[in-house]
Structure formats: C-alpha cells, structure tokens
C-alpha cells in the first residue's frame, strides 16, 4: 500500500481472521456452536467438564481409560501453594476477585519448574495444571472472601464437585452441582473472543503459558466480556420486581442505554448457550427459591420485550450472559464470583488455542494508521 493510500480500518478487528483453527466453530447467522465438531447442544446434554476439557486439549473425545487418566491428572494438580493461599487471604477482601485471580495465576508460575520448557508435551502438562489449579484458586477466593478458612481439595470428587466443595466447605447437593457443571461446559470455549485473542497475542511472542493465561484473565474481567453476566444480574436486581420490568426496559432503550446480556459481535441469531441455560432455568421454577423465581420472571419479560423490539429487526438476541445470573444464584453462587468461575471454565479453551497456535507460531503485530502531524519543530522547554 502506498503511503498516501488510506487503508480500510476494521475497528475492533471486526471480521478479521487471524488464523485457522479446528477447535471451535461459531455459526452466528444460524445460532449454532460447535466444540471440535460436536454441537453444543449434544455436548451440554451428554458430556461433563473433564471430558470437554480433554476434547478441547487433545482434539478428540477420550476413551474411558483416557478420561480416567486425565481426571487423575487433574486431581493430582488441585492443591495450591501455601503462599498463594496467603496471598488470597491478604487481598480477597481488598480487591476485585478477578484482580486476585490474575495475580495468583501469575504468581503460580514460579512454582512450575517447566515454565521455560516450550515443548508441546510440557505445555499440555502445564495446561492441565492450570485447568485444575485455577478452579482451586477461584474457590479459595470465594471462600476466604466469605470469612472462612481455606478448604483443601478432595481427590475423591469430580472437577466441578470439588470446586463447590472447596467453595462451600461441604459436598454440594445435586441442585447445586448440575447448574455449575452446565455453566462450566457452556463457557469452556468460544473461538477467538477478546480474552482468547489476548491470550494468543501474548503467547505469540513465545512467552510462557502462565503469562498468556494471565492476559486472558485480565481481558475477561471487562464488563463487555466476562463481566457481562454480573452486569445483567445487577440490572435484574435494579428492576427489583417483575412488574417494573417493562418500564425499566422502555426507559433504558429511550435513553440509548445498553441492556446487558443482549447482542453479540458474532451471533445474529439466538445464542445457543442462552437457549440451553434458559431451558434449564425453566425446569427449576417449581422448587427454586423466591429470589430465583423472581429473577426468572424479570428475565423472561425483558427477553420478550427485547426480542419484539430488536430481535428480528436488528439481530439483537439474548446471549450466554443474560440467563447466567439466575442460574448461578440457583446454586447459591454470589454475583462477584461469576466472572472468576467463567475464567475457571474458559482456561480449557485458552489452553487449547495456545497449544494449537504454537504449532505454527507467528508473532501477532497489527498496524495502526497514523493520522497525527509529522516533522514538528522541537521547542526548548524554556521557550514553550
């Protein structure tokens, strides 16, 4: 391109492809999502998080023996160093949980003697450690924020069951485990979203996987990405009662305010993950708490209004974040833990993309189109 030519600027890198991938397919036009070729509906109905993590990392569904070996690896890596527990105790009630998580994961790297080994085999081992330990760190953050002592992991429990055990200090009931397992599966992977992209950008410099994942966590924190489920629930709390919903949405739209949990950069149809979460939420109503029933009513009224006003005409539909809050609350998960749990799930996807990208690594270095002045005369400070 000649210096005088004005380039096409794709703000937000919209519609820009950065690489080829076999990990995830997001069909935004038709509202479909695939993990390694398997539809999210099939995965959510039949699988579990350990199997999903294996699928994303290795590229195929495991045989029984392979899955058991993978589960054992995860179990063996659950414990976190005492110094990280101390770090969490010192910071959990002073900082945002995502800030604590980001710092803890960065600190975790000093305990890994394979940090500088960039072989594929080593990076797979480190990925498994991260999948396991990040859940333990998130559970510790939540528990210590609530004023309780750290609970050591239980190797007899499955991945999400152990997470809830470490968070709550007791084995979870089925009605707590099922929604958390579902959310872990649905949030495990989603192609080149902002946090995955930032993970790849850092990794493309041949930095280590801890640095790359720390970048992903920092990116996920933002309310336009991982924090959107928290903001959607805060909106429902602000509405308060179902009968207030219509007025709230009307006034928000009139004021051109963003309704969190609606719209998506890629989906121009109903987010398939949102549909799965909504369907599950509807099954809870007969035995849900008053809070969850109230939140569900608000959500359903808001959903109908938004679809009627902006769905088919503007392609703005509910996304995964919208119904997530009521589902998390059905498992008695506090709002401030939603995004850290998102990270504990998405670590499988981040790791899978990093492992794939490193096979044919290329430093990511985009361009900026400079529009400022040139060849300005420097004026000494005493003459300015």
* Burial profile 51-67: b = 16 or more Cβ within 10 angstroms, e = fewer: bbbbbbbeeeebeeeeb
Q: What is the pLDDT of residue 3?
A: 57
State the angle between helix axes of 97-108 and 338-358 in degrees (0 to 180), rounded to the nearest 10. Answer: 40
Alpha-carbon distance of 181 to 301, in angstroms, equals: 27
Does the annotation mark 321 as catalytic?
A: yes
Residues of the chain above pLDDT 70, percent: 99
Out of 321, 332, 353, 360, pick the active-site residue.
Answer: 321
Residues of the chain above pLDDT 90, percent: 86
Q: Residue 378, Cβ neighbours under 10 Å: how many?
A: 5
Q: Domains of the chain by range and CATH?
A: 24-217+349-358 (1.10.580.10), 228-330 (1.10.230.10)
Residues 44, 48, 53, 55: is their CA dihedral positive or negative? negative
Query: What does pTM read for this prediction?
Result: 0.94
Out of 112, 190, 229, 264, pick the active-site residue.
Answer: 264
Alpha-carbon distance of 90 to 112, in angstroms, equals: 23
Q: What is the pLDDT of residue 4?
A: 62
Q: What is the pLDDT of residue 246?
A: 95
Residues 57, 40, 220, 282: is their CA dihedral positive or negative? negative
Residues 75, 76, 81, 84: is their CA dihedral positive or negative? negative
Residue 28: both structure tokens together: 């935004």
Q: Which of 339, 246, 322, 311 is nearest to 278 (CA)?
A: 322
Per-residue pLDDT tens, the chain, 384 aa: give them: 445 688 888 888 888 899 999 999 999 999 999 999 999 999 999 999 999 999 999 999 999 999 999 999 999 999 999 999 999 999 999 999 999 999 999 999 999 999 999 999 999 999 999 999 999 999 999 999 999 999 999 999 999 999 999 999 999 999 999 999 999 999 999 999 999 999 999 999 999 999 999 999 999 999 888 888 999 999 999 999 999 999 999 999 999 888 888 988 888 889 999 999 999 999 998 889 999 999 999 999 999 999 998 887 888 899 999 999 999 999 999 999 999 999 999 999 999 999 999 999 999 999 999 999 999 999 999 999
């Amino acid at each position: 391109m000649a210096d005088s030519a004005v380039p096409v600027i794709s703000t937000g890198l919209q519609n820009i492809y950065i690489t080829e991938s076999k990990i995830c397919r997001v069909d935004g036009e038709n509202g479909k999502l695939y993990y390694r070729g398997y539809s999210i509906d099939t995965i959510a109905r039949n699988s579990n998080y350990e199997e999903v993590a294996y699928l994303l990392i290795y590229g195929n569904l495991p045989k029984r023996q392979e899955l058991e070996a993978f589960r054992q690896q995860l179990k063996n890596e659950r414990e976190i160093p005492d110094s990280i527990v101390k770090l969490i105790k010192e910071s959990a009630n002073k900082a945002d949980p995502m800030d604590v998580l980001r710092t803890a994961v960065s600190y975790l790297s000093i305990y890994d003697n394979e940090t500088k080994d960039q072989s594929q085999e080593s990076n797979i081992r480190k990925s498994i450690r991260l999948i396991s330990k990040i859940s333990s760190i998130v559970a510790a953050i939540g528990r210590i924020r609530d004023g309780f002592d750290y609970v050591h992991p239980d190797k007899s429990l499955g991945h999400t069951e152990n997470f809830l055990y470490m968070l709550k200090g007791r084995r979870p009931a089925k009605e707590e485990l099922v929604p958390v397992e579902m959310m872990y599966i649905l949030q495990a992977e989603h192609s080149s979203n902002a946090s995955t992209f930032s993970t790849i950008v850092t990794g493309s410099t041949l930095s280590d996987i801890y640095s790359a994942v720390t970048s992903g966590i920092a990116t996920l924190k933002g309310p336009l990405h991982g924090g959107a489920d928290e903001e959607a629930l805060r909106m429902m709390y602000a509405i308060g009662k179902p009968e207030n919903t219509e007025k709230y949405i009307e006034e928000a739209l009139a004021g051109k305010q963003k309704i969190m949990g609606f719209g998506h950069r890629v989906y121009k149809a109903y987010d398939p993950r949102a549909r799965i979460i909504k369907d599950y939420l509807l099954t809870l109503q007969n035995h849900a708490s008053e809070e969850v029933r109230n939140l569900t009513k608000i959500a359903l009224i808001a959903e109908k209004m938004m679809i009627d006003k902006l769905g088919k005409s503007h392609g703005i539909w509910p996304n995964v974040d919208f119904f997530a809050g009521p589902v998390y609350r059905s498992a008695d998960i506090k709002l401030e833990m939603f995004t850290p749990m998102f990270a504990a799930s998405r670590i499988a996807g981040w790791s899978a993309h990093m492992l794939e990208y490193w096979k044919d690594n290329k430093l990511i270095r985009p361009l900026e189109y400079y529009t400022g002045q040139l060849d300005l005369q420097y004026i000494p400070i005493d003459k300015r």
